[in-house]
Structure 1
């Protein structure tokens, strides 16, 4: 806000612009550091990581999240995770956003329609989740 009140091109404007740039750089570095730590933890803990292929642009427009969806660095996180897993010879699997993971039995692979209100999955093979 202070920068917007300064006359563009003046010495005080330039000084304030540098302050704003430093703050934005610090925020970007904090986000990058956090994403590196999280991706390293996942890569060292698991042999395979399965993520959903999300449409972040669509989410920001349709769900009225706006900038907060773009601000979380999902693309950067998936990039970090993929190269760290590749270095260790592990696997990153991207699943389509319409894959019925909650309707599919993890034991036999049978698919069963479920309402959103249902919280317990019971399969015909006897598996309960």
Structure 2
């Protein structure tokens, strides 16, 4: 997966990042990054290797060789996932000044038997970990939005909040203003707006425009 960075837009804008199972990361800009799903790709091969190894005598040479091969496949799966996450997080960190992301309860999500495998395969925890140190490395800022913030249920256009929104509804439609948008993009825009609000509060500024001006002054743009 090739992800290029743009020096002209570096550190000049806010962005919200919504994480999900259908798409690993959806940005408020409309950009979508899919997870590599490396475990799913090799799941059948791994299961067969483990099944065959159960019939080998423990401690034998064949058993030890099989264990080594299984460990290598596990490492390959992890490396493919991590490489994809590195490219995505590097792109986001290099190209945006402030990144808003939800404080997901990953351990709680993994308790869901139906979704735990897919969630683990996406690597939500690793993506956030990489963003935390790469934003420091590239001079951007990571804003963690409270996990109870209703980013999916809130209309990013008028701010009206829905009482419920099922997972099957992939298009967000506001009953109040009629605004329609992809569900994940709508959530990402809300995360961006909340990141802007929290940043302005933390900096003691009166607006996001003031924050942008200060960022441009630091970069020597003005």
Normalising by the smaller structure, the TM-score range is 0.7 to 0.9
Match of 1:71 among 101, 121, 124: 121
Partner in structure 1 of residue 81 of structure 2: 31
**After superposition, where does 1:45-84 map in structure 2 within 5 Å?**
45-62=95-112, 64-84=114-134
Instruction: Mark the CA change 1:43 to 1:22 in structure 2 (over 3 Å): closer, same or farther.
Output: same
Instruction: Mark the CA change 1:17 to 1:56 in structure 2 (over 3 Å): closer, same or farther.
Output: same
Match of 2:160 among 96, 112, 118: 112
User: C-alpha separation between the residues in 1 aligned to 2:88 and 2:161?
Assistant: 34
Instruction: Mark the CA change 1:36 to 1:7 in structure 2 (over 3 Å): closer, same or farther.
Output: same
Instruction: Mark the CA change 1:17 to 1:47 in structure 2 (over 3 Å): closer, same or farther.
Output: same
| Structure 2 portions without partners, runs of 5+ | 1-50, 181-222
Larger Rg: 1
Over residues 87-129 of structure 1, what are the superposed CA-to-partner deviations in whole Å (9 max), with x where a residue is unaligned? 12211011112113353666xxx8533354861363xxxxx67
**Count of residue pairs brought into register by the alignment:** 122
Partner in structure 1 of residue 72 of structure 2: 22
User: C-alpha separation between the residues in 1 aligned to 2:93 and 2:161?
Assistant: 33
Aligned with 1:97: secondary structure?
coil
TM-score under structure 2 length normalisation: 0.48
| Structure 1 portions without partners, runs of 5+ | 123-127
Comparing both structures, which one devotes a greater share of its residues to strand? 2
Partner in structure 2 of residue 125 of structure 1: none
Partner in structure 2 of residue 103 of structure 1: 154
TM-score under structure 1 length normalisation: 0.79
